[in-house]
Structure 1
Amino acid sequence: MAAASHPVFARFYERLSVAMDRAGVAEHRRDLVVGLSGRVIEIGAGNGLMFGHYPATVTEVVAVEPEPRLRAAAVRAARTAPVPVTVVDGLAEALPAGDGEFDAAVVALVLCTVPDQPGALTEIHRVLRAGGDLRFFEHVAAEQPGGLRRLQRVVDATLWPKLFAGCHTGRDTAAAIGAAGFVVDELHRFRFPATSNSPSAPCVRGRATRPASGHIR
């Protein structure tokens, strides 16, 4: 598989992600996976900072990460994870998994970055069993129209994606999850950091279900 190589960003992200976890992101990671069980696929595992938060009821995590440097860091993190973790190369839009293979899927600060968000969500829908969980924690568009949303549109159209490996701050990810055929069961909106006006501050954390029947709309 062709690697999605971003070596400069990967080095920066390894440091930034640790600092963000210390500033409070680790709590969101922990809350994201509470109650999960069975086989889990984590898409865009990065350097493996989610691994330490999976509960013992998870029997296996398959962690997909296309960036070579981050994938190597994830392999190292998997060695000390509290649950079995297998790190694999792969893209969100072409997941290396069979239909209905997993009980749950986890995305953390990933759907803002994938080149084809609808395609990635279609793939997540495909690999989840009927009734399976999608847990998500993402940068999103500001909830209210105004200056911050305008700023997001400007930075997304200019330098932000180039600086941050394709990240877009203004995607309406919760709506996209619904459009991909999931039922959004829980949705928490917040800013991180809480008082920040950064384009990347608006976030959502939530849980969605792949219905037992039905197709992507």
Structure 2
Amino acid sequence: MQNPVFAKLFLRLGARNEARGLARLRQELLAGLAGTVVEAGPGTGLNFPHYPDTVVRLVAVEPEPTLRAAATDAARRAPVPVEVVEGTAERLPVATGTADAVVISGVLCSVPDPRAALDEFRRVLRPGGELRFLEHVRGTGVRGRWQDLADVVWPRLMGGCHPNRDALAALREAGWQPVRRRELTFPPGARVSVVAPRVLGVARVADTGDR
């Protein structure tokens, strides 16, 4: 799945957003993880430096070749063992029931089929495993309407990203229960960005009894 124009833009903007506070959000997203983790859509590997050393294996599944090459380079400097492999969120090259956690950041907004991806995350997780997410969401009021208008062209420029998708609704419809979440704006104080409304949290499969 090649998208070289988006990949080059992603490479250029990544460091700027990390310095503006996204690095701290990544630390919050990944805190406390342990065991075997699957990250779907790691991009250039910006999450890699923030994984705690209690993670013994990280499988990073990236479909875009340019981003995957950058992630492979970043994996060499990561504090945990990282395997960067080709694949998509809807078809992870991971055995059933082998992951302690799945991590996504900016994935549900861009995958062609969010429900298929969420079902695939459930497949690879062991019983009681968790999904860590940092995702764009549709805002309310004027912001939401602005995102709806932007959705006409934004996906073509930004690798299929739909700024007006409702990540929390997608989770619940797929049988996931958010057990911890906080809604935020990034960058803080952003007024015109169509991807500023975000949600960060943890979800588990609703029928496990975790609430």
Q: Does 1:170 align with 2:164?
A: yes
Counterpart CA distance in 2 for 1:211 and 1:116 is 20
The counterpart of 2:84, out of the listed 75, 82, 87, is: 87
Partner of 2:95: 98
Shift of 1:210: 2.7
Query: Is contact 2:175-2:207 (8 Å) kept?
Result: no
Partner of 1:196: 190
Counterpart CA distance in 2 for 1:99 and 1:179 is 22
Q: Does 1:40 align with 2:37?
A: yes
- Secondary structure of the corresponding residue to residue 59 of structure 1: strand
The counterpart of 2:148, out of the listed 150, 153, 156, is: 153
- Secondary structure of the corresponding residue to residue 179 of structure 2: strand
Q: Does 1:209 align with 2:204?
A: yes
Q: TM-score, normalised by structure 1?
A: 0.93
Partner of 2:122: 125
Partner of 2:105: 108
The answer for unaligned runs of 5 or more in structure 2 is: none
Counterpart CA distance in 2 for 1:103 and 1:8 is 34
1:51-71 Cα distance to aligned partner (Å, 9 max, x none): 000001101000000000000
1:157-183 Cα distance to aligned partner (Å, 9 max, x none): x11000001001111101211222222
1:75-122 Cα distance to aligned partner (Å, 9 max, x none): 000001000000000011111112111000000111111111111111
- Secondary structure of the corresponding residue to residue 164 of structure 2: coil
Aligned residues: 208
- Identical aligned residues as a percent: 49
Q: How does 1:14-93 map to 2 (within 5 A)?
A: 14-93=11-90
Q: TM-score, normalised by structure 2?
A: 0.95
- Secondary structure of the corresponding residue to residue 91 of structure 1: coil
Query: Is contact 1:189-1:203 (8 Å) kept?
Result: yes
Counterpart amino acid of residue 201 in structure 2: G
- Secondary structure of the corresponding residue to residue 193 of structure 1: coil
Counterpart amino acid of residue 171 in structure 2: I
1:178-214 Cα distance to aligned partner (Å, 9 max, x none): 2222221011101111211211110000001135749
Counterpart CA distance in 2 for 1:101 and 1:126 is 9
RMSD: 1.2
Counterpart CA distance in 1 for 2:172 and 2:184 is 19
Query: Is contact 2:35-2:56 (8 Å) kept?
Result: yes
Counterpart CA distance in 1 for 2:126 and 2:172 is 17
Query: Is contact 1:131-1:211 (8 Å) kept?
Result: no
Counterpart CA distance in 2 for 1:134 and 1:61 is 14
- Secondary structure of the corresponding residue to residue 129 of structure 1: strand
Counterpart CA distance in 1 for 2:208 and 2:196 is 35
